[in-house]
Structure 1
């Protein structure tokens, strides 16, 4: 995918972000043919051999801190050990694209015995979490990127659309008309602290829609997305609308709740799930 930032460098600390008053942002384009520098992806085989974090299922990548016997996840910080296969391969880092490139296409072997059934776990799962605390122009860019991503999904894929700002929106696009269920994020909530769990607001199998039959309704749902106004965010946080320039976006709460949501049906996060989160400000 291609990742483009609004500026060349992000704030070092939360304090620097709060004091500068600048809208820091990033646009993520899934399935882009080139990265943000215009370079095509590196290629590698056996994507099933790529190490994954034991806690959050993130893939090992060039942003992870590597030690002799293991690696620290770049997303959650969990220290993971290398298995014997990874230790053997990483002794020659020049031959491992995952140690040298951040944009890689992996080949994934297909086990026909696992893929023959109709169960959800045998199907690739893609979830787009869209930040609505952004400008209208940025949201239009995100819509275009997601529409292009829909066309690139393989047959049999499942797709879920979630939005977040001061509330989390879950979209059911399997009926004749897209329906959204909202769960408000308490202004003083701890990370992951929702009054209502996402699986209670909408069953997971209603949220994950087959792309083959629901692509038009997913596109219709994307067309309804609108930025959250300062008035809405101010009302939710108990502040005056004209004082809410930034914030009102429960990113941490939304992501931790989404991971728990994807784990709710079977007790473990989908092995083939991919989470894309286009958002504008940090």
Structure 2
């Protein structure tokens, strides 16, 4: 069995992904972001088209269960723009959900994840290609442990990668202790998000040493003053021997952050971040981050 990336229009040869935005959102709704929802399919299409025009080939959407994924829209958006899309199952922090929804999923969360990975999201027919979960600020609460346990169970059933939101970039080692230690998920199947938001090179190197992937994915968040450090951090990790662990994403989570609405959006990765990374990493290093690494990180020999 050969490895494949599970796209919204079917499984993909990893070699065909092209340049990958390894963490972003086309649709996202949360009670924590009222009035800033990503829920306009027309604007999503324009954003993808702008990304494609800048040289983008694939977007991995980390929007999980219950947050307005609109999975039924994704195949048409992919076909119209020529950009491959990967959808997510999983569950975010508890604050993004109602108590009723959380209670309703208390006994079948892992089964839900497996079903969305193997059969499809709702009636859309779109199968998810990864599992998204989240930690807290410097800690893992009971909700995080519950969702990560379900994610690990779904991983063991399918082989799907697990992508993790780290609040302000913290808690990565606790996540690795739980997922890769207690729950026995291979580290190379774990993607640690937002580590650029806590520019601790010692922690980043320790996380990379585990074999997990490190996603530097904050450029759409203008209030994060750590973005300017990102190329130098990635260069330091590459110099330390971890160039094959690095990924890049935009993490566009609000309507105003889209490029077509006046924000940086997905194209910013390629218009502005890519030249700085090429200076820091060299052409070969940049190719690894944007093309080779994500092709491995999201490819699975699907069970």
Bigger-Rg structure (1/2): 1
- Name whichever structure is richer in strand by fraction: 1
TM-score by length of 2: 0.30
TM-score, length of structure 1 as denominator length: 0.31
